[in-house]
Copies of this chain bind each other. A is one copy, B any other.
Amino acid sequence: MKIKIVTSKKIKNRFTKDAIKEYAKRLTRYCKIQLNVTNKIEKEIKNDSYLIKISNSGKMLTSEELADKTSSLAISGNSHITFLFDDEHYVGNADFDLKISNMDIDNELLLIVLYEQIYRAYRIINNEPYHK
């Protein structure tokens, strides 16, 4: 499965880069994941990719539900998922709007949380214990 995370906001904090790197490394066993920081959001949205928008007006899922969703997408032949941050630059509709918390969390922290949730989803799908 190929996962693309798209945001228009540059990563400023060193710790965010380090955290993303760590989770990306752990994820190499499970999927191809890439982060695209770009102002040309529209160009990153492809029709053949299932689009999940991270949005405050979205729906909350548990980690298990996100794992189920990822697994169902794979089974139904969706081999690409795109996660979009900063939806203010994208007027189109997403296939799913995902809300992570009732709190307004800093964009970079949400990005780390998303990486961790994708990693957790694969651990759940593969029935692997989650220690770290």
Contacts and interface: CB of A to CB of B under 8 A. Distances in A.
A116 B104 CA distance: 10
Interface stretch (A15-23, A32-40, A69-77, A87-95): A15-23
Interface residues of A, number: 27
A69 to B, nearest CB: 12
A116 B109 contact: yes
Contact of A102 (B13, B15, B61, B104): B61
A121 to B, nearest CB: 10
A60 interface: yes
A22 B18 contact: no
A116 B13 CA distance: 13
Contacts of A132: 12, 106
Contacts of A100: 101, 103
A130 to B, nearest CB: 8
Interface of A: 12-16, 18-19, 22, 60-63, 66, 100-106, 109, 112-113, 116-117, 120, 132
